[in-house]
Amino acid sequence: MKEALDVVLAEASVSHCSLTFIMDKTSSYFHEALRIHVPATKTGGDMVLDVAVAGSVGVNGTMTQVVAQARKCNHFGDEATPDCRKLARVFPPLLVHTQQMRLMSWCALVVVFSDYPTFLSVFAEMADEGRLMVWETKLLVITRLPLSSLEDLMQNYWTFSMMNTMFLKLNASSGENHCQIYAHMPYGPTGSHVAQLASLKSGHALGYLSDKTLFPEKYNNFHGMKVNLTWIPLTPGWMVIKRPGPNGTEVTTFGGREYWIMENIGSILNFSLNPLPYTGWDPVMKRLRTREAFLWPVTLPILPHMLELYDFGFFLERSTLAFTMAKPSTKSSWESLYRPLRIEVWGLIAVAVVVVYIVLMVMNAYGKDEVPGAWLVMKQVLGTLLDEAIPGELPLRSTTRVVLTTWLIFSFVVGTVYRSNLTACLTIPLYPSRIETFSGLVDANTKQGVFGDED
């Protein structure tokens, strides 16, 4: 076993990967496994977890904790929690030379030792439920079980059948081919099957069968298989197109960006799409959880509650959150009469007209000469503001002339500014300010629009 594991680790190119050993301590070769020496420079850190078999119930409870801690410690090794350090049993210099796991390790190898089908089946279920396994995580199961038991395990459990898993079967004899390496291939020319990848020959050399490799890629070629796909009819990502068919029938086809992306991927990986009937939002998620469907083309935001349901590997397509609004329309042309000046300026001009009118009326009332009437004074104030000639005779008193001259200067300045801005408003249309931020969208009290089919 020591020779086989050393050869597999060397051939599988797992340098700089973190290693996690999960051992059935009642196996006959458990203590032999502790004498395996893994150089510290070879891996990014190692951890040993042992689980005692005490009935199926006990195995379930213990295995759940082991899988959870293995996943946590693999991802946060440099900042391992006390629970991680407690569960990581160190046996220097026999097995583990260093316990420092790489922070957010991009590569991990889990090695499971057991001769009990129950132990392995529980591990497979707990690893699947606890999301210990992703495709970058390699799993090597070392066992002495017969090939028939291995075939049952590999065909009945997702962790063994669909993930990056190999079985290293040890034989009782120590001669030629004293151990074989198997993997379950879910897609092939004849369908799913268990394939022997290699065997260990005398002299500690791996003998490969055909073009097989260790930890083979299972999804480079689907060999024309149909892959179930779930979808949501959201235009323009996924569109249902109904066309008239032969004999008065109706043919349903699909289109849209998401469908075309999946179709192109299928042409490269040699599989065809089998879109399942759409029956609502909830069945879409359920089909993924139960693995009735394998694919769901959708733009999915990476939010905290999403991380509890999904493991994100890499981005196929990046998108940004945005909103669109109608182009602001210009105001009516008649509004250009007052838009050259702000409302506050118009208010101050009205106040100035009233003040000047009152001042002139008061000054005329205290004068000794014949004074113009109230209507004539009003025409003097408004007429000069509108660039009209002064009606009637000019006032004789010096103080009245000073006030009227000041008002003439004020009217000239205001009139010049107004005419200049009026020309600009009539020449260049002025659009209202656009909403550029989310806070501006909220302040505008904009109504929400939902597009797509709803139940």
Three-state secondary structure call for residue 282 = helix
Q: Please state whether the peptide bond connecting residue 189 to the residue before it is cis, i.e. omega within 30 degrees of 0.
A: no
* 40/357: higher pLDDT: 357
Report yes or no: 161 and 184 within 8 Å, Cβ to Cβ: yes
| pLDDT exceeds cutoff 90 at 85 | no
Residues 365-368: contacts with CB within 8 Å, 24+ apart?
367/397, 367/400
pLDDT of residue 98: 26
Helix (H) or strand (E) holding 255: strand 250-255
| Bridge partners for 208 per DSSP | 198
Q: What letter represents residue 299's amino acid?
A: T
> Tens digit of pLDDT for each residue in 321-348?
667 777 777 666 666 677 778 888 888 8
DSSP state of 184: E
Q: How far apart are CA 160 and CA 186, in angstroms?
A: 10
> At 138, which helix (H) or strand (E)?
strand 137-143
**Distance in angstroms (rounded) separating the CA atoms of residues 95 and 430:** 77
Q: What is the mean pLDDT of residues 120-130?
A: 85
Check pLDDT > 50 for residue 89.
Answer: no
Neighbours of 322 (CB within 10 A): 5
Residue 38 has pLDDT above 70, yes or no: no
Overall CATH class of domain 2-208: alpha beta
pLDDT at position 30 is 57
pLDDT digits (tens, 9 = 90+) for 409-418: 888 888 888 8
Taking the C-alpha atoms of residue 314 and residue 164, their distance in angstroms, rounded to an integer, is 17
Q: Taking residues 8-32, what's their average pLDDT?
A: 69
d(CA 212, CA 267): 24
DSSP 8-state secondary structure symbol assigned to residue 21? E
**What CATH number is given for 225-307 in this structure?**
3.40.190.10
Q: Which amino acid is at 38?
A: V
pLDDT tens digit sequence for 335-386: 667 777 888 888 888 899 888 888 888 887 776 555 667 788 888 888 888 8
* Confidence label for 183 from pLDDT (cuts 50, 70 and 90): very high
Confidence of residue 72 (pLDDT cuts 50, 70, 90): low
Instruction: Give the mean model confidence (pLDDT) for residues 285-313.
Output: 81
pLDDT value of residue 96: 30
Q: Which two tokens stand for residue 277?
A: 């009937």
Band of pLDDT at residue 254, cut at 50, 70 and 90:
very high
Per-residue pLDDT at 161: 93
Percent of the chain with pLDDT over 90: 16
Band (13; pLDDT cuts 50, 70, 90): low
pLDDT confidence band for 387 (50 / 70 / 90): confident
Q: Where are any strands of DSSP class E within 144-270?
A: 165-170, 179-185, 193-201, 205-208, 225-229, 239-244, 250-255
Q: What does the pLDDT read at residue 165?
A: 94
Instruction: For Cα atoms 279, 281, 285, give the angle at the middle one, nearest 5 degrees.
Output: 105
Region 117-122 average pLDDT? 88
